């Protein structure tokens, strides 16, 4: 994370001969690298690190053999680069199966009548003092950052975190979209379309945003 206190660790837990490595069962966990007490040596600090299991996913052997199918479990975990101690991940709203009906927004929502298949969430990590045993980690309730009509592909941030660029795709006809999200905070965002195009049309490709490594 941006404070370099937490480490996001993905561990293989279940093996399978029927799926590739990326679909093996796995645990996603957050390790607190801050020493449990002052004056502890590095080895003692490592042994006292608090570990918080974020999610335990089984072998992903039920993904349909169809275009635009994906895992039904939470996926694509990363730290939010602009908010301290915040996780970011995607989750399918249709169970990962494109033959299922998408989520349709009900009356009263800003996106009333629209349908969505994927959503991106943020989730804060909270640390509390557990006395002699060091810190205790817990997860706050997830907050939906945005919903997508197609499958989530990638996300990039400006330095302040107030503007985000999110990519989604539809494999069945090779279409892609890039969205710009303006966010005053993690719970309220405004989305606008940057482009929608076929990624096979290389002659009209607008390229990619110029990026620089954060501090």
d(CA 147, CA 119): 4
**Cα(first)–Cα(last) distance of the chain, in Å?**
11
Q: With cut-offs at 50, 70 and 90, classify the pLDDT of residue 102.
A: very high
The per-residue pLDDT for range 74-97, each reduced to its tens digit, is 999 999 988 889 999 999 999 999
Confidence (pTM): 0.85
> Which helix (DSSP H) or strand (DSSP E) does residue 156 occupy?
strand 151-157
Percent of the chain exceeding pLDDT 70 equals: 83
The per-residue pLDDT for range 146-165, each reduced to its tens digit, is 999 999 999 998 887 788 99
The per-residue pLDDT for range 36-70, each reduced to its tens digit, is 544 445 555 445 568 899 999 999 999 998 889 99
pLDDT of residue 111 exceeding 90, the answer is no
| Coil, helix or strand at residue 140 | coil
Residue 33's DSSP bridge partners are none
Q: With cut-offs at 50, 70 and 90, classify the pLDDT of residue 109.
A: low
Beta strands, E only, 23-142: 25-32, 51-57, 75-79, 86-92, 103-104, 115-116, 118-129, 135-139
pLDDT score, position 184: 52
Picking from 17, 144, 19, the residue whose alpha carbon sits closest to that of residue 71 is: 19
Give Cβ neighbours of residue 142 (< 8 Å, ≥ 6 apart).
121, 122, 123
Mean pLDDT of the chain: 85
Picking from 128, 174, 123, the residue whose alpha carbon sits closest to that of residue 153 is: 174
Exposed/middle/buried for 58, CB within 10 Å: 0-12, 13-18, 19+?
middle
Scan for tokens 């996926």, then name that residue.
Answer: 75
Phi, psi (degrees; rounded to nearest 5) at 92: -70, 135
Instruction: Count the neighbouring beta carbons within 10 Å of the beta carbon of residue 34.
Output: 15
pLDDT score, position 38: 44
pLDDT score, position 45: 47
Q: With cut-offs at 50, 70 and 90, classify the pLDDT of residue 3.
A: confident
Residue 7's DSSP bridge partners are 31
């Amino acid at each position: 994370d941006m404070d370099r206190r937490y480490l996001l660790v993905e561990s293989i837990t279940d093996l399978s001969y029927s799926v590739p490595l990326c679909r093996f069962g796995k645990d996603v966990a957050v390790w607190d690298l801050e020493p449990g007490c002052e004056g502890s040596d590095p080895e003692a600090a490592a042994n006292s690190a608090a570990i918080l299991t974020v999610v335990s996913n089984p072998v992903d052997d039920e993904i349909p053999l169809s275009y635009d199918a994906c895992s039904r479990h939470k996926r694509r975990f990363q730290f939010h680069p602009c908010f301290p101690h915040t996780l970011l991940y995607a989750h399918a709203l249709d169970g990962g199966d494109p033959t299922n009906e998408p989520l349709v927004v009900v009356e009263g929502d800003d996106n009333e009548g629209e349908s969505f298949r994927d959503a991106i969430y943020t989730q804060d990590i909270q640390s509390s003092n557990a006395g002699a045993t060091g810190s205790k980690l817990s997860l706050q309730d997830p907050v939906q950052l945005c919903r997508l009509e197609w499958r989530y592909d990638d996300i990039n941030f400006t330095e302040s975190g107030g503007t985000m660029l999110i990519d989604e795709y539809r494999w069945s006809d090779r279409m892609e979209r890039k969205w710009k999200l303006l966010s005053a905070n993690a719970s309220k965002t405004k989305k606008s379309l940057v482009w929608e195009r076929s990624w096979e049309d290389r002659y009209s490709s607008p390229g990619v945003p110029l990026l620089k490594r954060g501090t």
